[in-house]
Amino acid sequence: MLKWLITKLQGVFDDFDDAQADLSEHWRPHSNRRTIGILVIAGVLAATIYTQAIQPPEEFPVRELVTVPEGSTLSEVALSLAEQHVIRSPQAFELSMRILGRARDAKAGDYIFKEPQSVWAIARRVSTGAFGLEPVRIRIAEGATTREMAEQLSKALPRFNADAFLLAARPQEGYLFPDTYFFLPNAHEDAVLETLRQNFDAHLVELQPLIDASGHSLEEIITMASIIEREARIPADRRMISGALWNRIRINMPLQVDVTFLYTVGKNTFQLTLADLRTDHPYNTYVNKGLPPGPIGSPSLDSIKAAAEPTPSEYLFYLADNTGVTHFSKTYEEHLRKKRLYLGT
């Protein structure tokens, strides 16, 4: 009996081996074709997943502010990033966050990406709060008006509102210090305005004794300094011009400076007409005597010092020749002679 059972089992095993051999013989001619087919399907599937879920969108906002809203759920963050073209698939982003174990750790705030990144890289940045914000260097030129500042700052700072800045800055014309500043890209106009004014106030501490000794108010000094800023670049000339202009005010003579028209109507000396010079405008220093109602820009430290501490002289007139040299005169006749001599007019 035992011998019969062994014989039967041996027959079964032999039949299994024969069947396996037949199957192998049948599979071998088609194995390469099947392998290639599987690889093609796997490649198409992987490419589809990459292009539909992992790859950065074509409209990826490089070097633009991207906001993750405060108090948002993971799904809301994912939808927001998709709407801002940072990711292709909200589901892929959520899955990445969960794999990282950071499903509840999306850090709200503004982000900047220097180059397109995959959904996995975006998830890591958002989960750790790697905002990528770097300070923007902005140089506010000496003599710049609040309008010029608004235009410059709005181009450099995406969150900056030029109209709101102008509304708040206009009353502070002349008191926003020209300097080199470093602002984060998401800086708002109120923070920028506060920084510019604080810088002015900090410099005023140094200047206050000089202003007090001048016999003029702060507003008078800053207004005169803003005119001097536009009239000359050389420190020595600024102090001489300051003296001449204060002399005019002292004898009740109109200042007759053209730079105030640049502030009001945007015209320089060579564009002004006789009609412009006759306009009844508060900043027309040909019609109105004394200083204009306020500063016409933000003066430099040197111009403020020149306004507060002018070079004493009897000069009332000055002109710059074609080489930039400034010539001073005591009388109008002398001024006209120098004008013909140096300018040919």
DSSP secondary structure code for residue 312 in this structure: P
**Residue that is written with structure tokens 């800086």 in the block:** 187
Helix axes 189-214, 218-231, angle to 10 degrees: 100
Return the pLDDT at 35: 58
Q: How far apart are CA 140 and CA 131, in angstroms?
A: 27
- The label of the residue with tokens 């809203």 reads 69
| pLDDT, tens digit (0-9, with 9 covering 90-100), for 217-264 | 999 999 999 999 999 999 999 999 999 999 999 999 999 998 998 888
| pLDDT digits 0-9 by tens, 51-105 | 555 889 999 999 999 999 999 999 999 999 999 999 999 999 999 999 999 999 9
Asked if 198 and 175 touch (Cβ cutoff 8 Å), the reply is no
In order of 18, 20, 76, the CA distances from 25 in angstroms are 11, 9, 57
Bridge partners, 298 (sequence order): none
Q: Which amino acid is located at 275 in the chain?
A: A
Whether residue 289 has pLDDT greater than 60: yes
